[in-house]
Amino acid sequence: MRAPGFWARDGVLPRLLSPLGALYAAATARRVARPGWRAPVPVICCGNATAGGAGKTTLALDLGQRLRARGVAVAFLTRGYGGRAGRVVRVDPARHDAAMVGDEALLLADVAPTYVATDRAAGARAAIADGATALVMDDGLQNPTLHKDVSFLVIDGAAGFGNGRAIPAGPLREPVAAAAARCRAAVLIGPDRHGATATLPPRLPVLAASLQPGPEIAAFVGRRAVAFAGIGRPEKFFTMLESAGVTLAARFAFPDHHRFSAAELSALVATSAEHGAMLVTTPKDAARLAPADRARVSVIGVRLAWADEAALEALLAGLVP
């Protein structure tokens, strides 16, 4: 879905919808109050208080790589948004595509064993049975089925918490204070343009990070490109490219998890040819393309650059050896 424009600001419509938002928030509060299964291994959750992309998968990938560097047998848990997999599926990129397990699951599986499960506890049991000694959840802060040892509240600095109201009146899945109360730290990605951190509890540490392109960006600096993205906030990808020195001849934003048709991709290829530019997209979007179509597109990944990497490492050191 594409987030409604009024979620970014308050007004008459959000106020009219606020009673429904209160009901939504109350239902979330009842759900998260239920106790979850406590796994015999550490469980780390990358969650947020809002609907849509805040950078959860990017954080999960970062943490998974750090844990692997420590020698930890880490596994990822995800719901597999948009996929049609069964109750618990261990992702096999050779057999599964985005239609089956979701695009994010394919990205995670490139780093560590990944399990798609609506019931996170069932997914955790399967991962542990396969030898996992630590679990990283991509999303799931509002999912009560699995106890989390450490949760990170991921905040997109460019969007903040929108108008501060709950779905459908605004983007919040639950009140910010309620989500923050279950988290060990907040992760602010990008400049805090809306004062989101001012609404957090004073005791909650805030770890600042910024999105940086992967090393493949070097081949595009100073060149023209046509960029397209179907992620939570496509403009983040476009801004990152321009900040790195890529000239965007055109940009095309699609809804999050958009399934590209053959006609859409042909139009994008034609536009890039018209501008004499390379066609570029995100790894998440590339995961939803057919192999033949993927070969027509260049992929530029993202990573997190931390303002205080030592603070993050210290938090992980207290959780795993």
pLDDT digits (tens, 9 = 90+) for 257-306: 899 988 999 999 999 999 999 999 999 999 999 888 888 999 999 999 99
Q: Is residue 86 scored above 80 in pLDDT?
A: no
Question: Per-residue pLDDT averaged across 225-234, rounded?
Answer: 92
Fold assignment, 12-210+305-317? Rossmann fold (3.40.50)
Is 0.75 topped by the overall pTM? yes
**129-140 pLDDT, tens digit each:** 999 999 999 999
DSSP 257-271: T----HHHHHHHHHH
**What pLDDT was estimated at residue 79?**
87
CATH 3.40.50.2300 residue ranges for the chain: 215-300
How do residues 31-44 score in pLDDT, each as one tens digit? 999 999 999 999 99
Looking at residue 147, its pLDDT comes to 96
> Across residues 165-175, what is the average pLDDT?
96
Task: Give the range among 54-58, 282-286, 316-320 with minimum mean pLDDT.
Answer: 316-320
What would the CATH number be for the domain defined by 215-300?
3.40.50.2300
Average pLDDT, the chain: 92
Distance CA 19, CA 3 (A): 19
Q: Which pLDDT belongs to residue 53?
A: 75
Q: What is the pLDDT of residue 80?
A: 74
Query: Taking 90 as the threshold, does the pLDDT of residue 194 lie above it?
Result: yes
Question: Between vectors from CA 15 to CA 9 and to CA 17, what angle results, nearest 5°?
Answer: 105
Query: Sorting pLDDT into bands at 50, 70 and 90, what band is 181?
Result: very high
Binned at pLDDT 50, 70 and 90, residue 318 comes out as confident
Helices (H) and strands (E) in the chain, counts: 11, 13
Residue 29, pLDDT above cutoff 90: yes
Cα gap 138→244, rounded to integer Å: 27
